[in-house]
Homo-oligomer: A and B are copies of this chain.
Amino acid sequence: MIRLLIADDHPVVRAGLRAVLESEPDFAIVAEAATAERAVELAAEPGVDVVLMDLQFGPGSAMNGARATAEITARPGAPRVLVVTTYDSDADTLPALEAGATGYLLKDAPPEELAQAVRAAAAGRSALAPSVADRLLERMRSPAAALSARETEVLGLVADGLTNQRISQRLHLSQATVKSHLVHIYTKLGVDSRTAAVREARGRGLIR
């Protein structure tokens, strides 16, 4: 019997996961959490094998699913954490996996796939949605798609609508440096303007 904790802020999604997974004879939902903080609390108690963790917990929440995942998996004897989220983007998946998630699934997956992923997680095997696995492999092959931390920071401010001058002031740089970063960003993303760079980075999930 695999004991499950469902962590999601949407009541409808919690009910849906419960309904889908309760029909499996070897699953038992032992707890539900509507906030990330509550999920961390409940995961600390014994009697939980797998945590189904959402990443987005509404704008009013201080802790997100990735943080909660890190806190849960940091403890000895912790349950496995399976991230189940709506939309996939690199900006979400990589932090979640680095935080110690055993798997990553999309909510639009068919019920059988969910159940199989839970069993894999309970057995300690990793379970990744096909689209996520594809992009991880793609990432391995072409390292060109990765922006440096500084470049991501600059691009984030560009996405907020700041001019190069404002960005240079905000980061205590010269405009020349900001331009230099942008040129590198453009070549890496294969675009030639700031708005196109923002769009491309959004599409690839490099920024949110």
Contact = CB atoms under 8 A, between A and B. Distances in A.
Interface of A: 9-20, 58, 86, 107-111, 114, 158-163, 191, 193-200
Contacts of A161: 191, 193, 195-200
A10 B107 contact: yes
Contacts of A16: 10-17, 19
Number of copies: 2
Contacts of A200: 161
Nearest to A16: B16
A127 B199 CA distance: 35
Contact of A12 (B11, B13, B195, B197): B13
Per CB-CB distance, the 10 closest pairs between chain A and chain B, nearest first, are: A16-B16, A161-B196, A12-B16, A15-B19, A15-B16, A161-B199, A161-B195, A19-B19, A10-B108, A12-B107
A111 B199 contact: no
Contacts of A20: 11-12, 15
Contacts of A191: 161
A199 B108 contact: no
Contacts of A17: 12, 15-16
Given A12-B16, A162-B195, 6 more contacts: A12-B107, A12-B114, A13-B16, A86-B86, A160-B195, A198-B198
Nearest to A23: B15
B160 A199 contact: yes
A161 B86 CA distance: 26
